[in-house]
Every structure is written in structure tokens, then in C-alpha cells.
Amino acid sequence: MEQIFETQSPEETHALGRRIAKILHRGDCLALVGDLGAGKTAFVRGLAEGLGCDPHLVSSPTYVLVQEYPNPEGPSLFHIDLYRLSEPEAELADLGLEEMLETGVVVIEWADRVERTLPKSYKRLEIQIDGESSRRFILTDNSG
């Protein structure tokens, strides 16, 4: 099933993240696909807030690969960024994805680089740049 959302500002992108958080649960993987500057980090801030994590902790984990945002009342959010990895499929396996899914929700930026090695069931969110601030989000549920 595919759903399409449109936003006109970073604030609306943040709000969409909060909205999509309501359909995510411990063990869910959300694969983000989109160009640089598409709004992935703004979206993840909203996602974190919607899950009950502190959105102010969210930053792009490009240099550390994985950021964990704790949630005192529910699943943690694990934020993975594969942009700088030379062998992302092998390195994703080394990050302990299965263990992360046991305790939280996982969101992966640049997931198109590892789609063959994602969990059997995941949600894919493609972000398309439609203008300076406008974005189109295509959410697909890839349940196995």
C-alpha cells in the first residue's frame, strides 16, 4: 500500500514525522530514501518527538553512523545514516540492526543502498524535492 504526503516547509516536514510516528512500533524499520537536502533530518526530528524522544537530540549521524534517542516511556529511536559508508550492506550487518529492532524503532537514511539486506518487513519513505521548501513523501509498506 502506498500513501503520498506533501509538505511546504521544514515545519510541515517535522509535523509529518510526528504523524508517521503514530504508526510505528518497537521492531519497525523505516527506510528513508532521498537526495541531500531533502529534509530527512527535519523529518526524523518530528519522528523522534512523535515517539516520545527528545527531538532536540536529533542530528544527522553521518559521522557516527548510529544515534540512539532514548524514550523514557516506550521504544528508543535508532537513527542510522549510511551516506559515507563504502560497503553499506556489510557495515549495516555489523551495526547490530537485529538487536536495535528488538528494543526500538530503526530509521535508516540512504536506505536505497541496502534495500536487499533490510528486514523482511519494513516501511519505505521516499522523499522527493518539489521546490525550495516543498517535498513529496511516498510511504510504502513492504510487509513480508
Q: Is the model's pTM score more than 0.95?
A: no
What pLDDT is attached to residue 89? 66
Phi, psi (rounded to 5 degrees) for 18:
-60, -40
7-62: pLDDT as tens digits = 999 999 999 999 999 999 999 999 999 988 888 989 999 999 999 999 989 887 66
Q: Where are the domains of the chain?
A: 2-142
Q: Which CATH number fits domain 2-142: 1.10.287.130, 1.10.10.10, 3.40.50.10470, 3.40.50.300?
A: 3.40.50.300
